[in-house]
Amino acid sequence: MARFDDKRRQFLQFAAFGTMAAAWPGFLLAEGAKTNNAPNRTFKPDVEIALTARTASVPLKPGTATRVFQYHGKLLKGPSSTLTEMPSYLGPTLNLVRGQKVRIIFYNQLPEPTIAHWHGMHVPQKMDGHPMYAINKGERYVYEFEVKNPAGTNWYHAHTHEMTATQVYQGLAGLITVTDEHEQKLALPSDEYDLSIVIQDRRFTADNQLRYLQHGRHERILGFLGDTILINGQIDSIIPVKTRAYRLRLFNGSNSRIYKLGWEDGTPLTAIGTDGALLGEPENYPYIMLAPAERVELWVDFSGREIGSDLVLHSLEYHGAMPHMGGGRRGGRENEDRRGDSGSGMMGRRLTQGDNFPVVKFHIAEKTSESHELPSTLVPFQRLLDRDVANPDSPILIGLSMMHMSPELNHRSFEMEAVAESEKIPVNTIQKIRIFQEDHAMRRGGRRGMGGRGDTDDSDERGGRRGGRGGGMGMMMSMAHPIHLHGQQFQILSRLTQNRHGSGYDSVKDGFINSGWKDTVLVMPGEEVTIIKPFQDYTGLFLYHCHNLEHEDMGMMRNFLVS
Ligand code: C2O
Ligand code: CU
Ligand code: CU
pLDDT of residue 349: 59
Residues with CB under 5 A from ligand 3 (ion): 481, 546, 548, 551
- Exposure pattern of 14-36 as b/e (b: 16+ CB <10 Å)? eeebeebeebbeebebeeeeebb
Ligand nearest to the CA of 519: 2
Q: Residue range 485-494: average pLDDT?
A: 98
> What is the per-residue DSSP string for 65-107?
PEEEEEEEEEEEES-GGGEE--STTPPPEEEEETT-EEEEEEE
The pLDDT confidence band at residue 228, using thresholds 50, 70 and 90, is very high
Answer yes or no: is the C-beta of 543 below 6 A from any ligand 1 atom: yes
CA 362 to ligand 3 centroid distance, Å: 32
Q: Residue range 39-51: average pLDDT?
A: 97
Answer yes or no: is the C-beta of 293 below 6 A from any ligand 1 atom: yes
More confident residue, 562 or 329: 562
Q: What are phi and psi of 465, to 5 degrees?
A: -60, -45
pLDDT of residue 501: 80
Three-state DSSP state, 399:
strand
Helix (H) or strand (E) holding 363: strand 357-366
**Closest approach atom of ligand 1 to CA 155:** 1
Q: Residue range 502-520: average pLDDT?
A: 95
pLDDT above 90: residue 502: no
**Closest approach atom of ligand 1 to CA 552:** 2
Q: Which amino acid is at 85?
A: E
Ligand nearest to the CA of 293: 1
* C-alpha Rg value of the chain to the nearest Å: 22
Q: Residue range 81-91: average pLDDT?
A: 98
- pLDDT tens-place string over residues 306-353: 999 999 999 999 999 998 654 434 433 433 333 433 333 344 458 999
Give dist(CA 515, CA 335) in Å, integer. Answer: 33
pLDDT above 50: residue 67: yes
- pLDDT tens-place string over residues 17-42: 433 433 343 344 433 447 899 999 99
Answer yes or no: is the C-beta of 314 below 6 A from any ligand 1 atom: no
Residue whose C-alpha is closest to residue 166's, from 388, 371, 345, 9 = 9
pLDDT of residue 499: 87
**Closest approach atom of ligand 1 to CA 544:** 2
pLDDT of residue 16: 38
How much of the chain, in percent, has pLDDT values that exceed 90? 78
pLDDT above 50: residue 123: yes
Q: Residue range 551-559: average pLDDT?
A: 98
CA 490 to ligand 2 centroid distance, Å: 12
Three-state DSSP state, 18:
helix
How much of the chain, in percent, has pLDDT values that exceed 70? 83
Answer yes or no: is the C-beta of 558 below 6 A from any ligand 1 atom: no
Answer yes or no: is the C-beta of 157 below 6 A from any ligand 1 atom: yes
- Do you know the residue count of the chain? 563
pLDDT above 60: residue 466: no
Which residues are registered as beta bridge partners of 433?
396, 531
pLDDT above 90: residue 510: yes
The answer to whether 109 and 135 are in contact (CB under 8 A) is no
CA 172 to ligand 2 centroid distance, Å: 14
Q: Residue range 477-486: average pLDDT?
A: 94
Q: Residue range 70-86: average pLDDT?
A: 98
pLDDT above 90: residue 459: no
The pLDDT confidence band at residue 229, using thresholds 50, 70 and 90, is very high
Ligand nearest to the CA of 545: 1
- pLDDT tens-place string over residues 250-295: 999 999 999 999 999 999 999 999 999 999 999 999 999 999 999 9
pLDDT of residue 343: 36
Cα–Cα distances in Å, from 299 out to 46, 355, 486?
A: 31, 25, 27
pLDDT of residue 529: 98
CA 128 to ligand 1 centroid distance, Å: 9
Which residues are registered as beta bridge partners of 114?
135
pLDDT, mean over the chain: 86
CA 293 to ligand 1 centroid distance, Å: 8
pLDDT of residue 340: 38
- pLDDT tens-place string over residues 142-158: 999 999 999 999 999 99
Three-state DSSP state, 300:
strand
Cα–Cα distances in Å, from 551 out to 296, 324, 480, 494, 556?
A: 23, 17, 11, 25, 5
Give dist(CA 455, CA 442) in Å, integer. Answer: 12
Answer yes or no: is the C-beta of 249 below 6 A from any ligand 1 atom: no
The answer to whether 23 and 14 are in contact (CB under 8 A) is yes
pLDDT of residue 439: 75
pLDDT above 60: residue 180: yes
The pLDDT confidence band at residue 230, using thresholds 50, 70 and 90, is very high
Ligand 1, atom 3, residue with closest C-alpha: 119
pLDDT of residue 179: 98
Answer yes or no: is the C-beta of 486 below 6 A from any ligand 1 atom: yes
- pLDDT tens-place string over residues 519-548: 999 999 999 999 999 999 999 999 999 999
- pLDDT tens-place string over residues 369-428: 888 899 999 999 999 999 999 999 999 999 999 988 899 999 999 999 999 999 999 999
Ligand 1, atom 1, residue with closest C-alpha: 119
Lowest mean pLDDT of 131-135, 268-272, 283-287, 461-465, name the range.
Answer: 461-465
pLDDT of residue 341: 36
Q: Residue range 482-500: average pLDDT?
A: 96
Lowest mean pLDDT of 49-63, 119-133, 435-449, name the range.
Answer: 435-449
pLDDT of residue 442: 41
